């Protein structure tokens, strides 16, 4: 049985200044929005954040960014956040941009205990700078080191009291890998069930990767609303 928090502030209380955190989500889809809001409220700072992107200006990780709580961002996309662009250009934040597949594999490798791997993505580009290269079968590859985090924050659709998680459709995105790559994983869930109620064949993240849970109703904002006239 995993700990079920009753307060989002309580859920993130161990995340301290200088922590490295991984945050699930793609754009605003599948983000642990209440856990992020709790971090904003605690004021924890000098965070290294590993996530696909940094949210938008007024929601998700963009709130931590606006509050100057992020020291370094490791991700693959920054296009929806003007404040992120401003901080990068002014030198207020350190950024490591990676090809999206490389980012996903670095996180997956970290969760699997694999320290590094070779990939052709980024060869001949600025991504190659400072990295070891090696030729396999006549093709050049970069050595990429795995990523792990002190804390991983994910959002799930369903969970049981053991900590088994099921994600909802595309909200699954990076979350199973991120859940595995954190030393401590906190899951924000929409529905909590008794142990044994979920079909074992449908579990996306086994309970072994999850340390605690909290129930939260999602606002589920739309990142970019597009309508047809």
pLDDT in tens, 185-211: 999 999 999 999 999 999 999 999 999
> Based on the number of CB atoms within 10 Å of its own CB, is 218 exposed (0-12), middle (13-18) or buried (19 or more)?
middle
C-alpha span between 175 and 50 (Å, rounded): 12
Neighbours of 53 (CB within 10 A): 25
What confidence score (pLDDT) does residue 226 get? 73
Do residues 80 and 27 make contact, with C-beta atoms less than 8 angstroms apart? yes
The domain segmentation of the chain, as residue ranges, is 3-114+147-215
Neighbours of 219 (CB within 10 A): 10
Dihedral sign from CA coordinates of 114, 115, 121, 123: negative
pLDDT digits (tens, 9 = 90+) for 118-170: 999 999 999 999 999 999 999 999 999 999 999 999 999 999 999 999 999 99
Nearest to 120 by CA among 142, 88, 89: 142
Does residue 143 sit in helix, strand or coil? strand
Write the CATH number of the domain with boundaries 3-114+147-215: 3.40.1080.10
pLDDT digits (tens, 9 = 90+) for 25-71: 998 999 999 999 999 999 999 999 999 999 888 899 999 999 999 99
């Amino acid at each position: 049985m995993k700990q079920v928090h009753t307060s989002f502030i309580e859920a993130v209380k161990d995340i301290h200044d200088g922590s490295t955190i991984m945050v699930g989500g793609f754009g605003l889809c599948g983000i642990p929005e209440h856990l992020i809001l709790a971090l904003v409220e605690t004021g924890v700072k000098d965070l290294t954040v590993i996530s696909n992107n940094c949210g938008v200006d007024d929601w998700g990780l963009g709130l931590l960014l606006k509050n100057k709580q992020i020291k370094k961002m490791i991700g693959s996309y920054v296009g929806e956040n003007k404040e992120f662009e401003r901080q990068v250009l002014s030198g207020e934040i350190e950024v490591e941009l990676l090809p999206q597949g490389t980012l996903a594999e670095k996180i997956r490798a970290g969760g699997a205990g694999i320290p590094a791997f070779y990939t052709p993505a980024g060869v001949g580009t600025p991504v190659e700078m400072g990295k070891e290269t090696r030729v396999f079968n006549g093709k050049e590859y970069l050595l990429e080191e795995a990523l792990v985090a002190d804390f991983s924050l994910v959002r799930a659709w369903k969970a049981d009291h053991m900590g088994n998680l099921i994600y909802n459709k595309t909200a699954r995105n990076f979350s199973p890998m991120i859940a595995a790559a954190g030393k401590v994983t906190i899951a924000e869930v929409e529905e909590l069930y008794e142990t044994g109620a979920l079909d074992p064949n449908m579990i996306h993240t086994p309970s072994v990767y999850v340390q605690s849970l909290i129930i939260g109703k999602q606002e589920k904002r739309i990142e970019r609303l597009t309508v047809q006239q």
